Every structure is written in structure tokens, then in C-alpha cells.
Amino acid sequence: MGVSLQGKTVLITGASAGIGAATALCFAQQGCRLLLCSRRLEVLRQQEADLRNAGAPAVFSFELNVRVRDDVQGVLGTLPSDWQEIDVLVNNAGLSRGLTKLWEDNVDDWEEVIDTNVKGLLYVTRAVVPGMVQRKRGHVINLGSIAGHMAYANGAVYCATKAAERFLSDGLRIDLNGTAVRVTSIDPGMVETGFSKVRFHGDEERAAKTYANVDPLQAEDIADAIVWAATRPAHVSIQSVVLTPTAQANPFVITRRT
């Protein structure tokens, strides 16, 4: 039996689409107050009415690029007073760019992926967690990947960023031991979102082949795992959750319908 999250304040990065948007809806259904950020403020604003109708007592949306350190510090440091006590942080903002041999890869893509998946996660965590420690409560939920457990061809840099997320989660959990603040890493396999379209720089045909003849996870499946972890009793710490489609055993072994 999970504990109630009614009235808790949840901050979700990258909340305008995919897993972030699905997670916002799932927390809204739990009666949570939602702090939502993304680079696309207009999309967040369009979602607010549906989230309130789903059960969120309040929604506060703001624009934020987690890659920009000064913006993260400035924006999160000056939230309205009634939004400053964050109970759950979902570090969801992340992406991949390209699928190319490391020695032929685009260095600009590396910069974007590393700055978002690693440094962005660090910037937001550094801004939010001190308040959790001071209040002696809180939960940090980071979005990892099975790519952080096992590298695959042409994805070395993305895999490295998700391995970094995994170890940052472990290290933060150790550093927070004794504070009652929990840390969880949610590590999905293949999820059908806009991820592949972003990876292939908008090439929808190439992106569609990623999910061809297989039943991938959906954003709602990941959101469900996130909220499940957040609703465990205070003495239970879900350190990590690895979930894949039934058709996927690991990054290399996927059975597709013929």
C-alpha cells in the first residue's frame, strides 16, 4: 500500500513531452502540486488545464534550460515562496544525439548530450537538494537507462552519460545517508517517445524503425514506475528500477515480429 502524495510539491524537468509529460499527469492524479519546467514554456502552459482537471491542486510552469548553470541557479533560487519546498525532484530532462561511431561522431552533439544529461542533472540537484536536507525530507528520482548498464555500438557518449547518472545517483544516496532524503534511478529500455526523433535530428522515418515490429514501453509505463517509487513508505528506499519491454532482454537482444 503506497503512501499518499496529496498536496506534495513535485518538480519535473523536461516536462513538456514524453516521459516528463506523462509523469506530470501521473503525479497530478495523486493530488500533487506540480512545478514543471522545459525549454518550451508555451507547451507547458497548454498542459496546465488538463493537469488541474486530473487532480493537481496547483500547477506552476516556467521556462528552463538545465544546461545553463546561471539560469538554473537563478530561476530555482527565486521561485515564489509557496513553491520553494520541493518534496520530489524528477530529473527527467535528457536526450541523445546521433548514432555514430565514436571516432566519426559530431562533437557538437557530445556537448549537448553531456551538458544536458550530466551537468544539467547536477545543476538542478545542487539547487534543490540542500532544501530537502534542511527540511529532513525529500526524494530525488533520476531518469537513467539500460544504456547506463551496458554500452552499445555507435552510442558510446550517450551510454557514458547514463552510466554517469547511475553513479551520481549512487554517490548522492551515500552522501544523503542519515538525512531521510531518498534517491532512485529509473532505468528504462526501449520507450516509444520523441527520443529517437531527437536522436536522429528530426528524421521521422529513421526514428520509426527503432520501434518497428515490437511493442516498446510507453511513457506512461515509466511514469507509473516513478510514482510507485515515490509512494513507498518513508523507511523504504527504491534504489533503482530497471524495466524493458518484454521483447527486449538488453540493448542488443530484441525480438521483433516478422
Query: pLDDT tens digits for 51-82?
Result: 999 999 999 999 999 999 999 999 999 999 99
Residues 6+ apart with CB under 8 A from 211: 190, 192, 196
Task: Walk me through the domains of the chain, giving residue ranges and CATH numbers.
Answer: 9-243 (3.40.50.720)
Runs of H (alpha helix) within the chain: 18-29, 41-54, 69-77, 107-114, 121-135, 156-176, 195-199, 204-210, 219-230
Grid coordinates given for 10 = 513535485
- In this prediction, residue 205 carries a pLDDT of 83
Three-state DSSP at 258 gives coil
Mean pLDDT of 124-139: 98
Residue 202 has pLDDT above 80, yes or no: no
Residue 210 has pLDDT above 90, yes or no: no
Contact criterion met (CB below 8 Å) for 199 and 99: yes
Cα 235 → chain centroid: 23
93 close to 120: Cβ distance less than 8 angstroms: yes
Q: What is the mean pLDDT of residues 231-255?
A: 96
| Predicted structure pTM score | 0.96
Q: What does the alpha-carbon distance between residue 116 and residue 110 come to, in Å, rounded to a whole number?
A: 10
pLDDT, averaged across the chain: 95
Q: Which residues are catalytic?
A: 158
Three-class secondary structure assignment of 79-129: CCHHHCCCCEEEECCCCCCCCCCHHHCCHHHHHHHHHHHHHHHHHHHHHHH
The per-residue pLDDT for 67 is: 97
Write out pLDDT tens, residues 134-153: 999 999 999 999 999 999 99
In the numeric block, which cell numbers belong to residue 66? 538545465
